Amino acid sequence: MNLANKITIFRILLIPLFLLFMLVPFPGNNVFAVILFLLAAFTDSLDGHIARKRNEITNFGKFIDPLADKLLVTSALVCLVGSGKVPAVVAIIIISRELVITGFRLLAVNEGKVIAASWWGKVKTVTQIMAITALILDNFPFRYIGIPMDQILLYASVLFTIFSGVDYIYKNRSVFH
């Protein structure tokens, strides 16, 4: 197993620890949860960079990397819905988009096509990470100046989620033919 795939597996192994800090209340648990969440999110960029730089892109990596990302974001969203910080419909939209695009990618693979992530998909991912971070931290530090940045980022991420999903399918609609 190459280094990039080991980093991806590490990201998956961080998820239960992240969940522990999200779900077990104690002083500062949200700070530890954010640190783990951001570490896991950072490894997403790191593993891809290493795989490309070393020319070690594998079928296992192509499969497990997007799955790890979806597990991390889905875990965070479910916890945030459970804590009342995210409306269920928001989580449903985001998770549904991920399932649809995963299914779409499987169709493409069956036709021998590999579809790379788009710029809009990257914007979606960054806004989701920022929104989840702000929500876990209870809108720190923006709550002190009265700006609901957590909600702004959350709904921006929903818009980018929808837009990137539609863009992804539209640009690769030939998969349906």
Has residue 40 got a pLDDT over 80?
Answer: yes
Using pLDDT thresholds of 50, 70 and 90, give the confidence band for residue 2: very high
The top-scoring range by mean pLDDT among 22-26, 58-62, 112-116 is 22-26
**CA separation (Å) from 160 to 21, 48, 84, 128?**
28, 22, 22, 9
User: Range with the lowest mean pLDDT among 54-63, 88-97, 137-146?
Assistant: 54-63
Place of tokens 């690769």: 172
DSSP structure string for 95-132: HHHHHHHHHHHHHHHHTT---PPPHHHHHHHHHHHHHH
Q: Specify the pLDDT at position 118.
A: 86
Domains, the chain, ordered by start? 3-176 (1.20.120.1760)
Supply the pTM of this predicted model. Answer: 0.94
Q: Specify the pLDDT at position 113.
A: 81
- The verdict on whether omega for the bond into residue 141 sits within 30 degrees of 0, i.e. cis, is yes
Coil, helix or strand at residue 148: coil
Mean pLDDT value of segment 11-39:
97
